[in-house]
Structure 1
């Protein structure tokens, strides 16, 4: 089983998906981690500097990185204890690679889909 850990900067809540305007990138990250919860192939955890500071102190790689580069380096993603991304969130494609999953996105302009265009599929979304 792969171990995926995301160490995020201080945010107002554990997911960052709060407040008057929702950050689309954080919404995607939250959805990805919800998906990972249902998989046996990856152990995924998300750590916010505000709500889970002990995770930063107890992870030697992250602690060293923060001491050397400061909090501006966050977010940092570890895969099996190794840094795979720092300074920005992974893309959906990168998350898929880390977790050995293929994420499918649905474009709102896709007229053939349940929710796209005028599909006529009332109540499906």
Structure 2
């Protein structure tokens, strides 16, 4: 199975899904990565605001930041190769890289007394 590393721009928290207005794309990628981890996938996510050393240590990401600045973020590295810059991977891309079906990457929210839970 693929090793996937996502290098995020500076976010307010590790997933970026906090605060009064949450970006649905950040929610989608957080859910997909959570599901991948549950399936045993080797995934990690780094936040520029709280983990800058990871961006320095990964030579390809460091070079992209030097060349394009933070506009290159997020950067997705799969098996030590940059696969995507400037946007998050689709669930279809994650499925292709890991061999896990797209359906398994989407968790349907459960409702409990009118409250949606993941």
Aligned to 1:28: 28
Q: TM-score, normalised by structure 1?
A: 0.79
Q: Structure 2 vs 1, CA of residues 2 and 88 (structure 1 numbering), >3 Å: closer, same or farther?
A: same
Q: TM-score, normalised by structure 2?
A: 0.84
Structure 2 residue runs without a partner (length 5+)? 112-116
- For the aligned residues, what is the CA RMSD? 2.1
Structure 1 residue runs without a partner (length 5+)? 108-113, 116-124
Count residues with an aligned counterpart.
110
Higher relative contact order (CA 8 A, sep 6+): 2
Aligned to 1:72: 71
Q: Return the offset for 1:94.
A: 1.1
Q: Structure 2 vs 1, CA of residues 106 and 3 (structure 1 numbering), >3 Å: closer, same or farther?
A: closer
Aligned to 2:8: 8
Is the counterpart of residue 47 in structure 1 residue 80 in structure 2? no
Which has more radius of gyration?
1
The CA deviation string for residues 79-117 of structure 1, in whole angstroms up to 9 with x for no partner, is 00101111111111111112211122589xxxxxx98xx
